[in-house]
């Protein structure tokens, strides 16, 4: 219904009220943290930021009219295949795009000069249980060595360090390491998947509202970045 783009229908006031009601329900579902990763994949980033900015538990339908107009603009200006692909990514029953070790790759979350990060879950024989399967972040690290004789030693050193981190670092605010393994000359680290908006999402959202970060919030972000740097160093 959100994709419906017949001019005669989109200009109908009752239909606009219905669309606002749909977005209100979606925003209510977004309040439940376990649902948020679906919306992050479902909506384009700019629209996702506006969706977040509505706030939790806003009852007035008028507050959702900007979302209706923005989404209508997206439907009108974005190729149909692109819009459909956004909806398809939320389908938890779809086939994996790849298989790495014991894990099925759902999607690629990011990439850099030294590797990639994927959203994965363990291989499941019964497809009916896919929706309940826990998802993880699988970090793929490219091991580049000029001296091939040092490759095995490098793998061993990193695996030992990750195992130490896994055993000793147990804190609710630190991402938990689950497993480390080597396959096809690449190192893989299985970690808990942290859902939610990225730092860029938060910065863009604050910028659009002509606001600034409070000092407390800035320090919270800096501390998290330092932790991430120390754990990945």
Domain boundaries, the chain: 13-90, 98-192, 199-228
**What pLDDT is attached to residue 24?**
92
Region of residue 177 (left: phi > 0; alpha: psi -120 to 50; beta: else): beta
What average pLDDT score do residues 191-200 get?
76
What average pLDDT score do residues 52-66 get?
86
Binding residues: 139
**What pLDDT is attached to residue 46?**
76
Among 22-31, 140-149, 216-225, where is mean pLDDT lowest?
140-149
Binding residues for ATP: 139
For the cut 80, the answer to whether the pLDDT of residue 131 exceeds it is no
Q: Which among 134, 150, 126, 112 has a CA at the least distance from the CA of 191? A: 134
For the cut 90, the answer to whether the pLDDT of residue 161 exceeds it is no
What average pLDDT score do residues 174-203 get?
81
What average pLDDT score do residues 9-35 get?
81
What average pLDDT score do residues 95-116 get?
84
Side by side, the strands of the sheet bearing 98-100 are: 98-100, 103-112, 115-122, 135-142, 186-192, 177-183
The answer to whether residues 197 and 37 touch, using CB atoms and an 8 Å cutoff, is no
| Confidence at 111, pLDDT banded by 50, 70, 90 | confident
Beta-sheet pairing, 98-100 with 103-112? antiparallel
| Confidence at 122, pLDDT banded by 50, 70, 90 | confident
For the cut 90, the answer to whether the pLDDT of residue 77 exceeds it is no
**What pLDDT is attached to residue 58?**
86
For the cut 80, the answer to whether the pLDDT of residue 152 exceeds it is no
Cα distance between residue 61 and residue 34, in whole Å:
24
pTM: 0.54
Higher pLDDT, 167 or 223: 223
For the cut 60, the answer to whether the pLDDT of residue 146 exceeds it is no
Cα distance between residue 225 and residue 231, in whole Å:
10
CATH class name, domain 98-192: alpha beta
**What pLDDT is attached to residue 29?**
85
| Confidence at 136, pLDDT banded by 50, 70, 90 | very high
């Amino acid at each position: 219904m959100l994709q419906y783009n017949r001019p005669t229908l989109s200009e109908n006031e009752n239909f606009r009220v219905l669309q606002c009601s749909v977005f209100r329900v979606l925003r209510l579902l977004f309040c439940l943290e376990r649902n948020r990763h679906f919306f992050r994949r479902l909506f384009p980033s700019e629209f996702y930021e506006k969706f977040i900015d509505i706030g939790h538990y806003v009852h007035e339908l008028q507050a959702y009219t900007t979302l209706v107009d923005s989404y209508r603009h997206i439907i009108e200006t974005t190729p149909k295949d692109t819009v459909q692909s956004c909806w398809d990514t939320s389908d938890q029953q779809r086939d994996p795009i790849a298989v790495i070790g014991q894990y099925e790759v759902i999607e690629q979350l990011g990439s850099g000069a030294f590797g990639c990060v994927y959203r994965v879950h363990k291989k499941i024989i019964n497809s009916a249980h896919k929706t309940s399967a826990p998802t993880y972040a699988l970090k793929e690290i490219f091991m580049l060595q000029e001296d091939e004789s040092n490759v095995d030693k490098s793998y061993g050193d990193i695996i030992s360090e990750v195992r130490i981190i896994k055993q000793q670092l147990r804190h609710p605010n630190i991402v938990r390491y689950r497993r480390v393994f080597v396959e096809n000359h690449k190192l893989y680290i299985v970690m808990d998947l942290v859902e939610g908006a990225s730092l860029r999402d938060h910065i863009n959202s604050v910028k659009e509202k002509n606001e600034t970060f409070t000092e407390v919030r800035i320090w919270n972000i800096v501390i998290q970045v330092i932790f991430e740097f120390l754990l990945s160093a």
